[in-house]
Structures are given as C-alpha cells and as structure tokens.
Structure 1
Amino acid sequence: KSNEAAELKPTDDKAYIELGRSYQDQGKPSEAEASFKRAIELNPKDDEAYIELGKSYRDLGKFSETEASFKKAIELNPRNDGAYIELGCFYLERGRPFDQNKFSEAEELFKKAIELNPRNYRAYLELWRFYREQDKFSETEELFNKVIEINPRDDGAYVELGLLYQDQDKFSEAEASFKKAIEFNPGNVGAYIYLGWLYQKQGKLSEAEASFKKAIETNPRHDGAYGALNVLYIEMGKMELARKYAKEVRDLRLNFYYPITVSNYQKFKAILDKRGITYVCVQYPMRNVEPLKKIFQGNDKGIIFVDNEEIFKDEVAKYGRQNVFIDMFGGEFGHCTKKGNRLLAENIANVILKEVFGK
C-alpha cells in the first residue's frame, strides 16, 4: 500500500514517509533512508521526515548523521516532542559508553518532551529508564505512577517496574509486575523471559523452565528465549536438553544479525585494516562463535576470533550462573561478576598469546 501511495502521489512527501516506514518495518534501512531523503527533497521543512531519516541512519550505524538529523527536526519544529525523545534515546545509548556528557543531556531532552506534551507517556517511560540505570529508585517509582495514570494498561511499564523491583531484590513485587504485564499483553515475550530469570535467580527452576517455554511458544524465533533455556538446562545438569537449545539458538543467529550490528563490526574492521591493526573479535560469553564469524565471511583476514562459549558453560555447569553473571540481560549471558570478568580476560589473553606470539 505504501508503494502504491508513492506511485500515485510522486510529489507527496507524506507518501514517501509512509513508504520509508514500511521499509523500516521490513528491516530494510537503506531503502528507508532513500525514501525519507526523497520526502525531504519534496518538502525540506518536514520535521517528521528528518526524525524518520535519523532512525534509518541509526539502524545503519551512521551515528553522526543520526544526531544531525534529529537536531534538524528540532530546528525545524522546536515543539515536536517526539524529536526530543528520539535524540534523548540516541544520547542514552551512544552516550553511555562513549560520551558521558551526552548521556547526561538525555535527561534534559526527556524533560523537555514532557514540558511540551505532558501526556506523552513515552517521554516519562524513557526518563524512567534513564533514572533506573542510575539506581534512582524514588524518581523511577514516581514516574511509574505518572505513566500508569496516562496509560493504565501499559504492559511495557509493568515490565520496567518489575526490573526496578528485581534490582532491589523485591522478588514478590517483581513477580507481580511481570505477571501484570503478561495479563495486559499475553504476547509480551520479554515479560515471560524476565519472569523466568526472576524464578531462576530464586532457585525456582521448574517455574523458570515453564516461563521460558511460554516465551518460545509466544515467539518461536526469539533467540533470547532459546538462549535462556540453554543456560537453565546447563544449571540443572540436563546437558542433552542444553545442547538441543544451544543448537536452536545457534541456527537462529546464523540466519540473522541486525543490520546495525553487521555494519558496526564491518566498519570497525575497515578502520583497523587501514591502520594495519589486528582485529581481536570477542564473542559474548556462552554464545557460539560461528554466527560472529559469518559476519566476516570472505573478509576474515587479520581477525583473531575469541570463543567464550565452552569456558563459561563449564563454569555455569559447575558453580551456577550467578557465579559469573550479575544478570542475564543478553538471554544466556549478562554483565559479569568479578569472577566472570577475570575468566573473560584470561581467555582473551590466552588466545592472543597463542595466535600472535605462539605461546
């Protein structure tokens, strides 16, 4: 329908915006970019086109263009609350590892969006996430009440509240929040996975298993759910089932990587190649290295791959996942404990010593 709209109205910028959004939904960021640029050619003052173009740039890993596009939308329409939210989210994600000043600026952008539109619940939700990452519990609970006031059936808000309670070890409250999210939206895969992790953290392994299986039933192609079951079965000592789900998640990942992930890896390699620097490419703990290698298929010269699958699986099988992971945000892995970080560092060092120095 969006294609038809652009063909019927070749001079209508809104038709090209809809076409671009259709491409975004199909996971085609390059085609989306071209459509939004055409919309801007037709109407250089269309702030919505710049917002959508910024999203496409972000998906393609063109981060300086992303920032410029969102800022242009604000310049064209300083009262567009959505533009402030998108720029704030971009700073939240990019600023955290790369620029602390931009990370902090995200807070003011979300507040500006709320000032412009006090009923925009997404602005409250993003500000809430900003506070939660900094363990500002009182601010997050206050914002939750505002989000629920605006949208009482927001399942995403209840998931966030569950994570907030989990961070404070308020397990019964976290469980109730995740279940509330599922009540309002039985298709919320993340709620089932988070509920499963909560059960696993408390040693309720059969309940965790049921919750992860429900996530797969809800979305049979969600790799995180298969990964979570893989780790659970390792912890339970059910190695045949662990291998089964490890294969499932490996097959899913061999067939798909987000375009932005592929773009970032390949751009980084191109930079290192120009400088004659060997690329040490490290796979996440617990994950199979083959999907990572596939990204560089035919272009893997000058790369040392570090496989962290078996050493972490052995550790989890012997001592449990909480010995090496603080959480499980990645499905079958999470942020590492001191023990996990040491295991990771030693394995990376050993691979470099072997591949580079022959030791």
Structure 2
Amino acid sequence: MTGAINFSAAKAATAVQRPVRMVLAAFAVGSLVALAGCATTTSDDTIRIDRAQGSEENISSLTSVINSNPSDPEAYNSRGSALGKAGRFKDAMNDFNKAIQLNPRYYQAYANRALVERSLGKQVEAVQDYNTALQINPRYDVAYIGRGDIYRLANRLDEAMADFNKAIELDTTDGRAYHRRGLIFQRKGQHAKAIEDFSSAISLSPTAPEPYNGRGISYLATNDLDNAFSDFNHAIDLDGKIAESWANQALVYEKRGNMQMAYKSFSHALQLDPRYQPARDGVERTRAGTASAG
C-alpha cells in the first residue's frame, strides 16, 4: 500500500473544499439516476476551520506554552493543530515540522501534518506522512482512516477498504472509519452493508450530520423514503448550513411528487452553496412543477 498513487481523481475531488460533500444521488423524477460516491473529501479529513479552537486567544495561550517549553514537541503539535483550525496552514506546517524535528518518532505530528498537506492538495506528501506514522505505530487508527480516504478519493477502493477495515479491526472509536467504508459499499450498490456502517458511524458520532446523509442516500436508493426523509431532516437539525442536507431532503419531496417543497429545499441549498450543482439541477427540474402548482 506504499506505492505511487495516481492522484488525478483525488486532486479533482479536493479542488472543492467542502466538509460534507460525501455522496449525493441525482434523481430524475421518479427514478434513481446515479450515486456520486466519492464527490470530495469530506472530508472531515481535511481541516475544518474552527473559530473557537483556532482563535487568537487560544493560539496566543499555546504560544506562551512554547515560550516556556521551547523543546516540547507536544506544545508545537498542539499549536499547529490550532493554527490549522484557523486556516493558517503555512504556520501549522512549521509547527508540525518543529515537533517532528524535536521528536522524529512523534507519529501524531506526522498524521497532523498529513491533514494540513491534504488541505493544501498535497496528497502524495500526506500519504508519505501517514505511512511514516504507521511505521512508528502500526496500531494508529487515525492514520489508517486518513490514508484510506486518500485512496478512496483516488479510486483505489480495495486499498481504501483495507485501511478502513484495519482501523475497525483495531476497535477504533472514530466513526469516520465506518462512514468511509459505508461510502464504498454505497458506491458498489451494497446498500444494506452501507446502511449498517452508517448506523455504526452514527452510534460513534451521533452529532455528525455526514453519516445521516449517507444512510439517507442508501435508504433513498432502496426506495425507503420515510427513513431517508427522517435521516435528512436529522442532518439538517444537526447543522442547518449544509447544502447537501437540504438538497437530499428535496430529493425525497421530489420522489413523493411534492414539487413545491422540493423546489423550496433545492433553492435553500443553492442559497447556502451557489456552486453546488445537484441543488442547481434540482431547482431547474422542479421549477416548472412549482409554476404549474401556483
């Protein structure tokens, strides 16, 4: 699993930096057209900007710790994580580099640096850092999950599946392992297995909207509209600012023939993310039905 990777697909995927662009089906009225199983990193595996963790106050506090302990690699690793949350990727890289310089066997710092590299579109370097982390600690589930998602986005599904399986075998409590494996099952049309994995991800990460969206798509693909609708609505309750959740909800309205509500939800998704093509397509599909109803 350490060979060279063709990252053309992965680079295209990571060009759109969205936290939840996982899987969204495109539905023509009354029929399932396709499942886009690897639309982007959800990334949840690239760094999400977090104003609290990346606040100047937090970074300043961690800087004080470094000034008091300039030879402590953990202090640099902690500040690097905060800098990454603030979107200051160059500064974060410098801190992770310093942490690794101080402790070349600091496997968590390699994995954290890989996250920054992924956010910068440097997948090759990220895989190398995940590999190093796993050479130091072969039981580090976080590195298997991160590397597996890069393989998934590069369409190397067997290697991705092997990494997610390994993390799960290690009894990971990180729901992303199940979520990402579910995406692969979903892409292969194995929706029963996908639903089971998304449910496991939900049990481990009950406040994350991503696995609810994923499970809802598989319910929708199997024509279980009630459960799909419930999952999409719950994803919206957890985070109402995610375009995918609203577009997913719209798909259920559309399948049920309620074009007015479908149009409304697609339109809201488009307001949240004007570049989200499934929402744009949905608005165009349902616009006529809204006009005729009015």
Q: TM-score, normalised by structure 1?
A: 0.57
Which range is displaced more, 126-135 or 226-235?
226-235
Q: Does 1:283 align with 2:282?
A: no
Alignment-derived partner of residue 314 in structure 1: 283
Unaligned runs of 5+ in 2: 1-49, 289-294
From the superposition, tell whether residues 62 and 205 of structure 1 become closer, same or farther in structure 2 (CA, over 3 Å): same
**CA displacement 1:130-158 (0-9 Å, x = unmatched):** 21111222222222332122116543321
Encode CA deviations 1:256-282: one digit per residue, 9 max, x unaligned: xxxxxxxxxxxxxxxxxxxxxxxxxx9
Measured after TM superposition, the shift of residue 221 of structure 1 is: 4.6
Q: 1:131 aligns with which of 141, 151, 168?
A: 151
Matching residue's letter, 2:147: L
Q: How many Å apart are 1:126 and its aligned residue?
A: 0.9
- Partner-residue secondary structure (3-state), 2:120: helix
The aligned residue for residue 74 of structure 2 is: 48
For 2:223 and 2:207, the matched residues in 1 are separated by: 25
How has the CA–CA distance of structure 1 residues 35 and 185 changed in structure 2, closer, same or farther, with 3 Å as cutoff? Answer: closer
Distance 1:226 1:313, change over 3 A: closer
**Which digits, 9 at most, give the CA deviation of each residue in 1:220-255, with x for residues without a partner?**
65635345324543454424434665687799x6xx
What SS does the aligned partner of 1:284 have?
coil
Specify the code of the residue in structure 2 equivalent to 1:283. P
CA distance in structure 2 between the partners assigned to 1:25 and 1:315 by the alignment = 35
Q: Tell me which amino acid in the other structure corresponds to 2:184.
A: L
- TM-score, normalised relative to structure 2: 0.68
Please state if 1:61 is matched with 2:87: yes
Aligned to 1:155: 175
2: CA distance between counterparts of 1:152 and 1:116? 18
Q: Confirm or deny that 1:79 pairs with 2:105.
A: yes
Q: Is the 8 A contact 1:231 1:242 kept in 2?
A: yes
* Alignment: residue pair count: 238
Distance in 2 of aligned mates of 1:25 and 1:236: 39
Gaps of 5+ in 1: 1-23, 96-101, 254-281, 288-308, 320-359
Aligned pair partner of 2:118 in 68, 71, 92: 92
- In the alignment, is the contact (CA less than 8 A) between 1:234 and 1:316 conserved in 2? no
Change beyond 3 A, Cα 1:29–1:165: same
The CA deviation at 1:28 is: 4.9
- In 2, are the aligned partners of 1:92 and 1:106 still within 8 Å (CA)? yes
CA 1:153/1:40 → structure 2, altered by over 3 Å: closer, same or farther?
closer
Q: Residue 118 of structure 1 is aligned with which of 138, 146, 169? A: 138
Per chain length, whose mean CA-contact separation is higher, i.e. which structure has more relative contact order (CA < 8 Å, sep 6+)? 2
Distance 1:138 1:67, change over 3 A: same
Which AA in structure 1 matches 2:281?
A: F
In structure 2, the CA distance between the partners of 1:220 and 1:167, relative to structure 1 (3 Å rule), is closer
Q: CA RMSD in A?
A: 3.2
Pick aligned residue for 1:176 from 186, 196, 209: 196
| Pair 49,125 (structure 1): closer, same or farther in 2 beyond 3 Å | same
Aligned amino acid, residue 312 of structure 1? D
Q: Is the 8 A contact 1:50 1:72 kept in 2?
A: yes
The one-character-per-residue Cα deviations of 1:301-335 (angstroms, maximum 9, x if unpaired) are xxxxxxxx7x533334379xxxxxxxxxxxxxxxx
Please, which of 184, 198, 204 is the counterpart of residue 164 of structure 1?
184
Out of 162, 181, 184, the position equivalent to 1:142 is 162
CA 1:220 to 1:71, structure 2 compared with 1: closer, same or farther past 3 Å?
closer
Query: Which of the pair is proportionally richer in helix?
Result: 1
Contact 2:63 2:79 in 1 (8 A): yes
Which residue in the other structure is 2:40 paired with? none
